[in-house]
Amino acid sequence: MEWDQEIDATGLLCPLPVLKARKRLAGMTPGAVLRLVSTDPAAVIDVPHFCAEAGHVLLKT
């Protein structure tokens, strides 16, 4: 899968990966793809929840 932008949140604990994603997504055009890399186990729960609440589509976990 190709992406337009990427965030490497390796080593960061939630909520930092979600906050970084929210900030980056705010400046992206609709339909653009953001790749978020995170090692925090909580991101598996927090990122899908954020996407659902904010109206974003989660393409893959």
> What is the predicted pLDDT for the residue at 26?
98
How does pLDDT run across 1-57, given as a tens digit for each residue?
Answer: 899 999 999 999 999 999 999 999 999 999 999 999 999 999 999 999 999 999 999
Active site residues: 14
Contact at 8 Å (CB) between 24 and 7?
yes
pLDDT of residue 43: 96
The domains of the chain, with CATH numbers, are: 5-54 (3.30.110.40)
CA distance 5 to 13: 20
pLDDT score at 61? 83
pLDDT at 58: 98
pLDDT at 53: 98
Q: Give me the residues paired with residue 7 across strands.
A: 36
Q: So what's the pLDDT on residue 13?
A: 97
